[in-house]
Amino acid sequence: MRRLALVTNMLVRNIFSLSKSLFYHYNTMASKTNCIIGEPVPRVTRSAIKRKLSSSIEQSAALSTDNLSKESETLKTPKKISVVKAESKDKPYKKEKPTEEETCDPDSSLANSKSKSRKARSEGSAHKDLKGNGKLSKVIKEKAKKSAKTASETSVTKSTVPKPEMVIPEIVIPINKPSIKREDGPSPWNGTIKYDNKIFLGAHISAAGGLENAIKNAMNIGASSFALFVKNQRQWVSKPMENGTVERFKAACAENNFSPHLILPHGSYLMNCGSNDPTVLAKSRANLLDEVQRCERLGILYYNIHPGSSCGKGSREEAIKSISDSINWVHDQTPGSKVSIVLENMCRQGFTIGGDFSDLAEIIQQVFDHSRIGVCLDTCHALAAGYDLATCQGFDSFLEEFERVIGFRYLVAVHLNDSEGEVGCHRDRHASIGKGKIGIEGFRRIINCPRFRDIPVVLETPFISDDHYKQEILLLKSLAQSGTICA
């Protein structure tokens, strides 16, 4: 009995709340639709509420029975399911027995079903919320028609418009570049120099306080060859050399028995003879000419430069031609000079020229006077360019390729540097001897190579102190065979 009382109490409360909501609903709808401004709102009686309540209960009961009958019918009739095979590794994606409702898009049926359900929900909610408001219901119907039209148009475009084909880039086949034969042109070095089949070790020396101080600094570290800058390498223009500087330098070389072919000045890092910028190219050529003339006055035979770079603003061929034209121009401006311009191999970083031996070979081929052109091999640059100098096989292939493409008659100097980077890293990162990827055993093979005799073999390792250079030279001497080191 207690439970029955509770149930009846809850039922009465629900009927009371429903009657209040209906009372409020009919009053508001009457105020919105049937009322004219200035007239009173018609009053809804309790008998009308009871009649409306009973009719709504009957309608809800009828709707619930209809829904139950529809659900039972759908359960009895099984749905048609389109079976899709899983994509295998060998066969492409394909549907089996597609129905008429499906389009070329594999996800179209799923998308259409989702859009239909969303549309039904939105229309149902709009119908419930906007019952009696004719204008808004018409707007919603028009929007629904437009959305259905756009959906059909997109499905048609998906099925009719073909997919763009994949563009496969052309495979660029490397060109076999011509090699320089050894009989092409005379030897770049002076034939009057006496060779002793020795190893001439040295380092890049400071010339602070005067060029003649470079000889003293070289002697202090136990060097038999050396490199230097003949002017400030960070400035385009420097003051001319005085005659006294030239005389003191030559006197110091003669006093310490330094042969001219064992001194290797390095060109300014500002130069770029491969540039297509007219201003940079003009400055580079003027600097190249100035430093060659300084070497001529000092009695030095070799002058080492980095070939240059296209900087990504021109082709490799244009940069090579610009470099060779610059060398030819300097040769024309210095007739009768014995100074050879020495090209250094690079590490293939960015757009630099000289990382491949064929780059240097093409420059030499385009230079008219082969007696004034040479090559300097840098061990760090070679390893970074992809030549594995740490192994016996890699070092042998490095020497074989140089002989085949350029020829050892053009080799006039070596830069000894270990490399911080791995083989083929394309990074110019010098390291102390034995502290990099070439290692002690790699330098043992390099220092004992017969091809590196009677030419300047110069350290360009990171400068720590003069004493550190001295210790590195002693280390290399300990790796060399007895009787091969020049005292």
Is 467 assigned a catalytic role?
no
Q: Catalytic: which of 331, 415, 420, 454?
A: 415
Is 129 assigned a catalytic role?
no
CA 182 to chain centre: 39
Is 331 assigned a catalytic role?
no
Q: Catalytic: which of 127, 234, 404, 451?
A: 234
**Side chain identity at 188, as an amino acid letter?**
P
C-alpha to C-alpha distance for 99 and 76, rounded to whole angstroms: 21
Is 25 assigned a catalytic role?
no
Q: Catalytic: which of 294, 348, 370, 381?
A: 381
Q: Catalytic: which of 290, 428, 454, 472?
A: 428
CA angle 449, 265, 363 (to 5 degrees): 75
Q: Catalytic: which of 362, 378, 418, 472?
A: 378
Q: How far apart are the first and last CA of the chain?
A: 124
C-alpha to C-alpha distance for 362 and 179, rounded to whole angstroms: 8
Is 58 assigned a catalytic role?
no
Q: Catalytic: which of 102, 296, 369, 460?
A: 460
Record the tokens describing residue 330, joined without a space. Answer: 């300097």
Is 415 assigned a catalytic role?
yes
Give residue for tokens 């190579």.
449
Using an 8 Å Cβ cutoff, are 451 and 399 in contact?
A: yes
Is 261 assigned a catalytic role?
no
C-alpha to C-alpha distance for 431 and 389, rounded to whole angstroms: 14
Is 266 assigned a catalytic role?
yes
Q: Catalytic: which of 430, 454, 469, 472?
A: 430
Is 93 assigned a catalytic role?
no
Identify which of 249, 197, 458 has the alpha carbon closest to the alpha carbon of residue 342. Answer: 458
C-alpha to C-alpha distance for 359 and 443, rounded to whole angstroms: 26
Q: Catalytic: which of 204, 266, 348, 372?
A: 266
Is 344 assigned a catalytic role?
yes
Is 269 assigned a catalytic role?
yes
Q: Catalytic: which of 269, 332, 422, 441?
A: 269
Any idea which residues carry the catalytic annotation? Answer: 234, 266, 269, 306, 344, 378, 381, 415, 428, 430, 460
